[in-house]
Amino acid sequence: MAKKRKEEVIDTDLNLTPAMNLILILIPLLLAAMETMKLGVINVATPQIGPSSEVTPPDQAPDEKPLKLTIALTDRGLHLYARDQVIENKDDPLGPTIPKKDGEEVVDGKPVPGKVYDNEKLSQMLSDIKDENPTEENIIISAESHIKYRYIIQIMDASRETKVGDKKKSLFPNVVLSAGVA
């Protein structure tokens, strides 16, 4: 019969010192990196899908349609909609409500002449709409899929408040982001 050899098991401790040193170096490094990183938070809502939670009886239905103010960002400019109708540009009824204007656009960190959104005119128009509808606080913003994020943020800022003299006037603080323009 064949003899079975007994295998000797040698009990050795793992040397964890290099791994512990690495962790001790990485923890302060990661904490320092997080301290220098700035995060910004913008409160927005998404559109609700589905039927309304409150059903109004037909005899108590409001006489006037809700404002449902919407701004659509496109390549040509800003299209404004209120009460499911387009707010037309008096100069160009087929064009955007607020066409882009000549200005400087930042590309790769350098200012380049180009067409930019007219945020001042937008704030003025929204201020007029707010004067007509003082209780309304919601606005819907949608954009084409290739519109850069920084332009959406600029439009959000212009629609939330405007300066009137030395004071700030609140316009539409509740921003709802919607699906893009078709």
C-beta of residue 126 within 8 angstroms of C-beta of residue 158: yes
pLDDT recorded at residue 182: 47
The CATH label, of 3.40.50.300, 3.10.580.10, 3.40.50.10470, 3.30.420.270, for the domain at 65-177 is: 3.30.420.270
Question: Parallel, antiparallel, or unpaired: how do β-strands 167-170 and 161-164 relate?
Answer: antiparallel
pLDDT recorded at residue 120: 92
Strand, coil or helix: 176: strand
**What average pLDDT score do residues 83-93 get?**
86
Cα–Cα separations (whole angstroms), residue 12 to 15, 19, 21, 138: 9, 17, 20, 68
Q: Domain residues of the chain, as ranges?
A: 65-177
Task: Give the range among 22-31, 50-59, 96-105 with minimum mean pLDDT.
Answer: 50-59
Percent of the chain whose pLDDT exceeds 70: 85
Model-level pTM greater than 0.95?
no
Cα–Cα separations (whole angstroms), residue 82 to 57, 85, 104: 24, 5, 30
pLDDT digits (tens, 9 = 90+) for 98-149: 999 999 888 888 889 989 999 999 999 999 999 999 999 999 999 998 898 8
113 DSSP β-pair partners: 104
Of 154, 140, 149, the residue nearest 47 (C-alpha): 140
